[in-house]
């Protein structure tokens, strides 16, 4: 039972899957490599590859009679933005850093105050 619940919590969003595919394609990658590394079915992979290609984030190239996929400049920009934004959402990253800095500054200046809990009537 626990295993099923754990799997349910790890479902990825489309944007997370886009980022995964683009990360894999930072180094020229075969379709099958992307499929296995991104843990996608062939049908899912085809849809995502098509979408990323039409948006100009992924390029398909023929090299030595083999089709490879490579992230484009636009795709690399997406990855940078995705990493920056997802950094705000990681538990304990920005919030903890800000709270820790505030507490440290308050303790150094003597401005620590203890407020009673707010109650809603």
For the chain, strand residue ranges (E) read 29-30, 58-63, 66-71
Number of domains in the chain: 1
CA angle 75, 92, 3 (to 5 degrees): 80
Task: Examine residue 13 and state whether it is found in any structural domain, yes or no.
Answer: yes
Provide the mean pLDDT of the chain. 78
Task: Examine residue 43 and state whether it is found in any structural domain, yes or no.
Answer: yes
| CATH code of the domain covering residue 39 | 1.10.10.10
What does the DSSP 8-state code read for residue 13?
Answer: P
Beta bridge partners of 33: none
Task: Examine residue 19 and state whether it is found in any structural domain, yes or no.
Answer: yes
- pLDDT, position 92: 56
Overall pTM surpassing 0.75 (yes/no): no
- pLDDT, position 107: 45
Task: Examine residue 120 and state whether it is found in any structural domain, yes or no.
Answer: no
Task: Examine residue 95 and state whether it is found in any structural domain, yes or no.
Answer: no
Task: Examine residue 3 and state whether it is found in any structural domain, yes or no.
Answer: no
pLDDT surpassing 70 at residue 19: yes
More confident residue, 55 or 97: 55
What would the pLDDT profile of 22-46 be if each residue is shown by its tens digit? Answer: 999 999 999 999 999 999 999 999 9
Range of the domain at 44: 8-87
- pLDDT, position 78: 97
- pLDDT, position 2: 37
Task: Examine residue 117 and state whether it is found in any structural domain, yes or no.
Answer: no
Portion of the chain with pLDDT greater than 90, in percent: 59
Give CA–CA dist 70/74, Å, rounded: 11
Task: Examine residue 55 and state whether it is found in any structural domain, yes or no.
Answer: yes
């Amino acid at each position: 039972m626990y295993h099923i619940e754990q799997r349910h919590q790890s479902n990825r969003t489309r944007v997370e899957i886009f980022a995964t595919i683009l990360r894999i394609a930072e180094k020229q990658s075969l379709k099958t490599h992307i499929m296995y590394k991104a843990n996608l079915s062939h049908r899912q992979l085809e849809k995502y590859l098509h979408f990323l290609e039409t948006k100009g984030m992924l390029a398909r190239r023929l090299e030595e009679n083999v089709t490879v996929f490579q992230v484009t400049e636009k795709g690399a920009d997406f990855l940078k933005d995705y990493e920056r934004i997802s950094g705000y959402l990681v538990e304990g990253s920005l919030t903890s850093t800000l709270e820790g800095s505030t507490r440290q500054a308050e303790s150094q200046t003597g401005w620590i105050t203890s407020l009673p809990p707010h109650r809603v009537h």
